[in-house]
Chains A and B, each alone.
Chain A
Amino acid sequence: MKISTKGRYGLRAMIDLAIHSNGEFVSLGSIARRQNISLNYLEHAFSALKKAGFVTGMSGSGGGYMLAEDPASITVQMILYVLEGDLSVVDRIPLKAETPLQALLRQQLWEPINANVKEVIAMTTLKDMAEEYKKMNKL
């Protein structure tokens, strides 16, 4: 039941990027400084986010990353899927191998939990997170 540092720090960095990019490349170093996150973690997360098409990167001086899409169209679910993979609460048992007890728990517990979690992360966009961030940090 853990969200890894990749997911935690990667999401914070995406929020930071949404706020500070304004159509320009933002260096990972500046995100790392503002967010007090080690650069190593960010490099790891951003190579995955770039591969998934959520950010574009440019190397060299003046380089960095910017969002490849409108933050209102990127959900937290999409970002966490790239950084964390499947967030379902239990590993799936193949239906054929499932006992009647396991099927019952899937129907009564695991599916409702996954649906609940999905509702939270699919309904929250990067734009929502950035606006909440600005409010909390009085930006």
Chain B
Amino acid sequence: MKISTKGRYALEALTYMASLEKDTPVNIREIADQTGIPLKYLEQIFFRLRKSGILVAKRGPSGGFLLNPALPQITVGDVVRAVETDIKPVVCLKSREHCESGIYDTCVTRLLWKRISDAVESVLDGVTLQSLGDAYKEKKS
């Protein structure tokens, strides 16, 4: 039931970015310096975030990364799903084929795991990066 360091770092970096001017690309070194995230680790995370379309890269001397301007409502859930392999607490929530006990239709614990999973994901999907960025900007000022 854990969100890994990768997920946490991704959210720290993107919250920092969301607290800045929107249209200015941010250098990844600056993000690493400001958040304390190791640069090498951040590069791996940003690779995934770019692949999933959450970040876009701008080339050139004043280049860097931008939160994808085409996606104004990126949620924490989008970010966590992009970097974590799997956020379901049990595999049988994915599909019937994942049930190891052959009791899918009469399994009460699966319903409990679903309620737990929904309890987690309702928060993840209800918070946007923008709201985190705004809260961080306010906190700093």
Contacts and interface: CB of A to CB of B under 8 A. Distances in A.
Interface of A: 1-3, 8, 11-12, 15, 35-37, 76, 84, 87-91, 99-102, 104-105, 108-109, 112-113, 116-117, 119-121, 124, 129, 132-133, 136-137
Given A1-B87, A90-B2, A129 B112 contact: yes
Contacts of B36: 99
Interface in B92-115: 101-103, 105-109, 111-113, 115
Contacts of A117: 1, 116, 119-120
Interface in B113-129: 113, 115-116, 119-120, 122-124, 127
B8 interface: yes
B84 interface: yes
Contacts of A137: 106
B6 to A, nearest CB: 12
B140 to A, nearest CB: 7
A99 B1 CA distance: 23
Given A1-B3, A108-B135, A113 B112 contact: no
Given A105-B8, A113-B123, A2 B16 contact: no
Contacts of A91: 2
B68 to A, nearest CB: 21
Contact of B119 (A108, A116, A129): A116
Contacts of A84: 1
A132 B109 CA distance: 10
Given A1-B1, A101-B136, A109 B89 contact: no
B11 interface: yes
Contact of B103 (A3, A36, A129): A36
A75 B132 CA distance: 34
B119 A113 contact: yes
B124 A104 contact: no
